[in-house]
Amino acid sequence: MGICCEHIDRTDPFSLYRILHVDTMTIVSPSMLSADFSKLGAELVRVEKAGADWAHLDVMDGDFVPNITFGPPVIKAIRKCSDITFDAHLMIQDPIRYIDAFADAGCDMITVHCEARGDIHGAIAKIKARGLKAGISINPETDVSRMEEYLPEVDLVLVMTVHPGFGGQSFIADCVPKISWTKEWAVKNGREIHVSVDGGINKDTSKVCVEAGVDILVAGSYLFKMDDMSPTIAEWHGY
């Protein structure tokens, strides 16, 4: 039986994914941090044609992390190149200042860090008020107790398995228990929370993370170094 597109909520990346795919399939979100910035729009199209579900947008301010990447103007410019879900990861201080700008640029979901300065509860509320999905991210050295207060408010938890700021780092296996802890917390508290993982994701670590309960795999350098990332994305969908 075909799917009636009239009944698809295109404002909800999670429900859209569940309608169009098997519920147990893993979502793949290539990190555009590893793309060729000289042709970012074309790289976005390449990701979409390869079968990726989302595009992960790493936003860095040079303060929360030592690197600087891009902001709302660049995201707005590449939004016209693809309808793929924009999964924005704000590695910035005081993120509430910029929620409207990223929403206006075309992001579908916005994740902020529990370690960032500023009103994080307020930032999450503002994301939700704009009709977007909200996420909270946690760094490798941060204990899960630091993010627990935000879990009743978010749709997604992003577990960092490298230190944020630069691509191409090695996977930190000690972070994997945070994945299973989050899933257990969600079940215990009756919350539907999707768990994403970012950092050092490759053929081996992707399996480890999915076995721990991950719903979304974010991968950068491992995918973008391939001439054709579609076979790997298809394989990860099957995990």
Q: How confident is the model over 105-127, as pLDDT tens digits?
A: 999 999 999 999 999 999 999 99
Each residue's pLDDT tens digit, 65-108: 999 999 999 999 999 999 999 999 999 999 999 999 999 999 99
Confidence at residue 170, expressed as pLDDT on a 0 to 100 scale: 87
Query: Which are the catalytic amino acids?
Result: 58, 198
The pLDDT score that the predictor gives to residue 19 is 35
Angle at 235 between CA 174 and CA 91, to 5 degrees: 45
> What pLDDT score does 24 carry?
65
Query: What is the distance between the alpha carbons of residues 92 and 112, in angstroms, rounded to a whole number?
Result: 8
Has domain 5-237 been given CATH number 3.20.20.70?
yes
Pairwise CA distance, residues 95 & 112, whole Å: 7
Q: Which residues of the chain have pLDDT under 70?
A: 1-24, 167-168
What's the predicted TM-score (pTM) here?
A: 0.90
Q: Please report the pLDDT score of residue 11 as a whole number.
A: 52
